Amino acid sequence: MRKEYDLSKLRFKKNPYAKRLKKQITIRLDSEIIDYFKGIGEANDISYQSLINLYLRDCVKSGKKPLTKWVKVS
């Protein structure tokens, strides 16, 4: 290996996979939701964040929509 490299002639290229990269966001989840996915993740040797992402991706592909029923609090 050389002691020094001349990087002045180096040409940078845009990352061709940049569109596929994940986007970091902040999301607030209940503790039991996180614990649930952590438990499944540990049992299957996968991070809970990847597991949540896989589950949400499956929901998108299958067209699942959350059931919401708003209750009026008096």
- Report in angstroms the alpha-carbon separations of 18 from 13, 15, 23, 27, 53: 11, 5, 10, 22, 18
What is this structure's pTM?
0.65
CA within 13 Å, CB half, 23 = 4
What is the DSSP-derived secondary structure letter of residue 8? T
Residue-range domain boundaries for the chain: 24-74
Residue 54's alpha-carbon distances to 41, 48, 49, 63, in angstroms, are 11, 10, 9, 14
Mean pLDDT of the region 50-55: 95
Model pLDDT for residues 35-51, shown as the tens digit of each residue: 999 999 999 999 999 99
The more confidently predicted of residues 54 and 15 is 54
Segment among 13-22, 31-40, 62-71 with least mean pLDDT: 13-22
